Chains A and B, each alone.
Chain A
Amino acid sequence: MLSNGVVAPPVPGQPLSGPSLLAFFKADCPACHLALRYLDSLSRSLGSGDHVVAVSQDEIAPTDKLMRSLGADLPLRFDRDLAASAGFGLEAVPTLFLLDRSGRVLASSQGFDKADLNRLGGDLAKLLDVPDPELARTGDGNPDFQPGCVSRHLEPESDAAAAEIPDLYSRRAGRASRIDLPTEADAEEWCYESGYADPLPVVPPTVERVERMLAESGLNPDEVVAHVPPNFGAASAEKIAANAVMAGCRPEYMRVLVPAVRALCDERLDIHGVQGTTHFAAPLAIVNGPVRLELGFACGSNVFSNAARANSTIGRALQLILRNLGGAAPGRIDMSTMGNPGRFSFVIGENEEVSPWGPLAEDFGIDAGRNAVTFFCAEPPRPVSEHKAREPKVLLRAICPVLANLWSHRVCKRSEAVLVIGPEHAATLDRGGFTKRDVVEFLFENTGVPVSEYDGDGGEGTHEAGFYDECVIRGVRCYRKFRRPESIRVMVAGGPAGKFSAVLGSWATGPRGSQMVSYQFD
């Protein structure tokens, strides 16, 4: 890009008259659209004289269409052969150049940046000896900054060139770049503006912090743990460490985070689909084994909320990794209709100390007493309250209708569920002699949707009723909700007081959707 003080090459069309603000843009660039709106109002406020000139990298028709849609009436030039774009050394659009009367560059700015717009607009007003127009205010509904798009002349020439196929099997990645922050920068704000963060503040991933995190992992910085869908960015140990620092993790959490990233990217879990779904699903991590107590995971009261640093920050690190390396940020790939609070963080520990049964990871062949992280792509928890039941069956009958409503009431044989049984409920079941297997079988046998609900109204789940399994529950003809008993997984978590449990429904399941995965680690 042209440096300040250099005399600019000619612009297309007539030479510029007097001091000018030149803005290169292309019609399909969202950051250009934002910039043009403000430039248009600047141009109007300056009155006569073409002092704000927009240079289109596109033909007249798409440019006019854009101007009409923006309601903009800027003096336009067309860089048809893109010679000016190359001559000005553009990398991206929008790029703005403030030129003095002799065509010398006084200042420039790339991308959409309100501070830059105000500065350049103010400087232009000074040169023209008119009042400062105060162009772009923070908080006016538009972002303060948006990166631009690649300049048209640098776009790969292609007739539908196929996108490069990512190398999914590389075990080594390039090292992460180091970035020196501007001396005056507020590091947290800088991270946020650089697109590193979810909407909460992050801990700046300084070299020292990342190195402490890495040292604890025992991995080489460039060692690839997984490739994160859907963009398949390489989750090298160094990148995982940088995101862990930002999320607020302690270095010793790498012990859990590294196997968790590996499990999260296991093809069976299909995080690829979950990242892009309109559904509520978010990956829930369930931790088993001694590591829960060693690192202080919440397994008791407030297990799903903000009770422990290990749960909250490891869950957040996983989400930042999905976003920063997988590319699924809200509004880009992640288009969930309602979202899920678990997209900030979704990690629970099993309360093995009060559970009458073996840990959840045992269902997946991992011995009790071993550390494991299990993933289930889950809806937010649905509550069950049952404070009167003294018998297992009475209690479980309060859970059946919640299970029966998963996904959509009349859809059967598709959903899976994780049932998180509160300690008081677990004690009731244990006192009644129910094993975990008994619980699952009772729930499977007694959860159904009455056949009378399928009255030909064409609602969701009614078209597939011919494939459902009929049964009789308490004298009522029903379709069985679940495909098999193993569609329901049972674990124990939560605080000592309160007869509550939680039901979590799945996303699409089985080999054509998401399957639970469980990884053991030391």
Chain B
Amino acid sequence: MSLTVVNPLDERPLPEGSAPPRLASVGGARIALLDISKGGGEVFLDRVDALLRERYGVSEVLRFRKPTFAKPAPEAVLTDIREAQPHAVIEALAD
């Protein structure tokens, strides 16, 4: 005899975010770096910041910071990033 079961999973199709189109070149671009505030993150990002300017000719590096790595970025941080209108954002993950 066939059994009928109740689906225990989340049945919504998960929205798939897709990567934005790559910039053809970062030369002259305005790049935002989001520090998720893990220990040592600023050391790493300072170096990325310098390399973007020196090696790749990025015109401006904008720095943003989440208040805690333990929670999603608050809307205010996202709004700040949007308003700065960078050409690209690098979200620096941890670990």
Q: Is chain B found bound to chain A in the same assembly?
A: yes
- Of B4, B67, B70, the residue contacting A270 (CB under 8 A) is B70
CB distance B70 to A178 under 8 Å? no
Shortest CB-to-CB span from B67 to chain A, Å, is 6
Interface of B is mostly: loop
Q: How far is the CA of A231 from the CA of B39 in the complex (A)?
A: 26
Q: How far is the CA of A351 from the CA of B93 in the complex (A)?
A: 43
* Closest partner residue, chain A, to B3 (CB atom): A181
CB distance B68 to A238 under 8 Å? no
CB distance A239 to B71 under 8 Å? no
Q: How far is the CA of A160 from the CA of B4 in the complex (A)?
A: 39
- Chain B residues contacting A150 (CB-CB under 8 Å) are 16
Chain B 9-37: CB-based contact to A (< 8 A → 1; otherwise 0) = 11110111111110000000000000000
CB distance A177 to B15 under 8 Å? no
> With A233-B12, A234-B10, A513-B68 given, is the CB distance from A160 to B19 under 8 Å?
yes
> With A270-B71, A513-B68 given, is the CB distance from A205 to B6 under 8 Å?
yes
A257 interface residue, CB < 8 Å from B?
no
CB distance B70 to A324 under 8 Å? no
Query: Could you tell me how many residues of chain A have their Cβ less than 8 Å away from some Cβ of chain B?
Result: 57
Q: How far is the CA of A238 from the CA of B67 in the complex (A)?
A: 37
CB distance B5 to A187 under 8 Å? yes
> With A180-B2, A181-B2, A272-B71 given, is the CB distance from A242 to B7 under 8 Å?
yes
Which residues in chain A, 225-265, are within 8 Å of chain B measured between CB atoms? 228, 231, 233-234, 238-239, 241-243, 246
- Chain B residues contacting A335 (CB-CB under 8 Å) are 95
A338 interface residue, CB < 8 Å from B?
no
A369 interface residue, CB < 8 Å from B?
no
- Chain B residues contacting A127 (CB-CB under 8 Å) are none
Chain A 145-172: CB-based contact to B (< 8 A → 1; otherwise 0) = 0000010000110111111100000000
- Chain B residues contacting A206 (CB-CB under 8 Å) are 3-6
CB distance B16 to A163 under 8 Å? yes
A310 interface residue, CB < 8 Å from B?
no
CB distance B17 to A179 under 8 Å? no
- Chain A residues contacting B17 (CB-CB under 8 Å) are 160-163
CB distance A320 to B8 under 8 Å? yes
- Of A195, A207, A320, the residue contacting B6 (CB under 8 A) is A207
Chain B 25-67: CB-based contact to A (< 8 A → 1; otherwise 0) = 0000000000000010000000000000000000000000001
- In this complex, the interface size class of chain B, counting residues with CB under 8 Å from chain A, is 20 to 34
From B4, B21, B69, B70, name the one whose CB has the most chain A CB atoms within 10 angstroms. Answer: B70
Shortest CB-to-CB span from B81 to chain A, Å, is 14
Q: How far is the CA of A178 from the CA of B4 in the complex (A)?
A: 6
Shortest CB-to-CB span from A133 to chain B, Å, is 33
* Closest partner residue, chain A, to B95 (CB atom): A278
Q: How far is the CA of A405 from the CA of B72 in the complex (A)?
A: 29
Shortest CB-to-CB span from A216 to chain B, Å, is 15
* Closest partner residue, chain A, to B9 (CB atom): A324
Shortest CB-to-CB span from A213 to chain B, Å, is 10
> With A160-B20, A324-B10 given, is the CB distance from A513 to B4 under 8 Å?
no
Chain B 66-95: CB-based contact to A (< 8 A → 1; otherwise 0) = 011111100000000000000000000001
Cross-chain pairs A/B with CB under 8 angstroms, 30 sampled: A155-B16, A155-B18, A159-B21, A163-B15, A163-B16, A174-B11, A176-B7, A176-B8, A178-B4, A178-B6, A179-B7, A180-B3, A181-B5, A182-B2, A183-B2, A185-B3, A187-B3, A196-B9, A204-B5, A206-B3, A207-B4, A239-B8, A242-B5, A242-B8, A277-B70, A325-B9, A327-B10, A335-B95, A512-B71, A513-B70
Residues of A within 8 A of B (CB): 150, 155-156, 158-164, 174, 176-183, 185, 187, 191, 195-196, 204-207, 210, 228, 231, 233-234, 238-239, 241-243, 246, 270, 272-273, 277-278, 320, 324-327, 335, 460, 463, 507-508, 512-514
For the complex of A and B, list the 10 residue pairs with the smallest distance between their C-beta atoms, beginning with the closest.
Answer: A233-B10, A160-B20, A512-B68, A242-B8, A273-B70, A164-B15, A163-B15, A163-B17, A210-B6, A242-B6
What 14 new A-B contacts, CB under 8 Å, besides A178-B7, A181-B3, A325-B9? A156-B16, A156-B18, A159-B20, A162-B17, A177-B6, A178-B6, A179-B7, A182-B2, A205-B8, A239-B8, A242-B7, A246-B8, A272-B72, A508-B70
